[in-house]
Structure 1
């Protein structure tokens, strides 16, 4: 891991919060959703089940919040961290931005590049894990007018957020979970497999918000409560459930067989409709507007 910089005008409060945040999200070795393999598996499913009207509404909310800062997207340098298949990178490129899209999943970036070619936009892609980036070696320090981290595990601790601040010379946008209630089958399945209740992991939107606040930034925040649903084949359900459970449990082929036995009777025509209740948060701030007074 690249050491955290010392020039973020940290104070006793922000250092204390950073230590708390680090402890809260400490998971040891990266597993499940923190691995490229998990997202390579997920790549082909992105945007497959999202109605176009809902996707357009989501994009409008994000862009409206970003543009409310006064940034001129046309001609701006944009870094999209954990860009995935390009749900933000491609629209921003259409708006005239010079977009650099970074992700540690090669399958996600293949989808992004394919879409960019089809839509005739130019996007620079980088296959790397965000936490290994050195801003000076990459030429990223204070390069970007807009730095984005949208619903990505790439920014999950103080070090990762600090890298955002180091690479931005203007606006930052972050979004993440405030709350997520998984499909009921996950809780029932977990109890069936491990004979204990599924323990919700802490959802982290408040962690980066408080860190920024204690550093002297005043992000503008917008929250949205929503219901998510998507159809999964039995094999997709198995891989998704196994991926999330593997953050705390050892999942082998025998365990996957047990997941298959569980979900097959609940599927219709070989597919299962998974439903989640979520609250997501998004925030924007200007790195040039920092109150460093104690």
Structure 2
């Protein structure tokens, strides 16, 4: 699994100091929930390239960015240096590597890092406040749907978390956020992106097969992917 995420690091989104509308809506909801970041320690689980970690670092006392992909974390470190952000540390590992630690805020967005009751028990015990955002419905892509059904299991971690919180009588606030966006890439870059998604979904297609399937949808040397995302944010 680490190798797959390392491969994705080449094309994974990187931190931008200017928030997309989706990110702005997310942080606005956290503000509505009364989440205070100032002077707080945060652990970002499944931090990736630091898309959220570096926003957090600009608000908090300190951030630990945790991820299984060392390649993703290398990009995060480079972005931190580029934007003069120094209060962030990285750890190449899983939640089990920090289960005896304690933070003010536990944070996870769009990551498959937590999969079981045991994982969520560790997540809950890690921090005083918890922010969790993940898919509520399968992510939809007009191009991926040429090869496979949408990944039905993408929403499973959210369902497990809700069951966990209800079983423990833990109160939470939540919000559903929808996003429709289009991404235009060169045909070759799009083939690489689709190949990665298909590989992680255990779908066996060669890059030539992918290219032949999508090339009639291209506009010159470029092709556009239309993506629909529905996520749920949980604060508890």
TM class by shorter chain equals: 0.7 to 0.9
Task: Decide which structure has the larger Cα Rg and report it.
Answer: 1
1:218 aligns with 2:184: no
Please report how far the alpha carbon of residue 134 of structure 1 lies from its aligned counterpart in structure 2 after TM superposition.
Answer: 4.9
Q: What corresponds to 1:187 in structure 2?
A: 145
Consecutive unaligned residues of structure 1, counting only runs of 5 or more, are 1-34, 191-197, 286-294
Between the two proteins, the alignment pairs up a number of residues equal to 233
For 1:90-129, list aligned pairs within 5 A.
90-122=54-86, 123-129=88-94
> Any conservation in 2 of the 1:180–1:279 contact (CA below 8 Å)?
yes
Q: What corresponds to 1:133 in structure 2?
A: 97
Provide the TM-score with structure 2 as the length reference.
Answer: 0.85
The structure showing larger relative contact order (alpha-carbon pairs under 8 Å, at least 6 residues apart) is: 1
Q: 1:64 aligns with which of 28, 49, 52?
A: 28
Cα shift readout 1:30-49 (whole Å, capped 9, x = no counterpart)? xxxxx23333233243447x
Q: What corresponds to 2:224 in structure 1?
A: 273
Q: What corresponds to 2:129 in structure 1?
A: 171
Write the distance in 1 (CA, Å) between the matches of 2:201 and 2:179: 27
Write the distance in 1 (CA, Å) between the matches of 2:12 and 2:116: 25
Cα shift readout 1:78-106 (whole Å, capped 9, x = no counterpart)? 00001112122212211232111111112
Write the distance in 1 (CA, Å) between the matches of 2:56 and 2:201: 37
Backbone CA RMSD of aligned residues: 2.6
Is the alpha carbon distance of 1:260 and 1:57 closer, same or farther for their aligned partners in structure 2, counting shifts above 3 Å?
closer
Provide the TM-score with structure 1 as the length reference.
Answer: 0.70
Q: What corresponds to 1:145 in structure 2?
A: 104
> Any conservation in 2 of the 1:186–1:241 contact (CA below 8 Å)?
yes
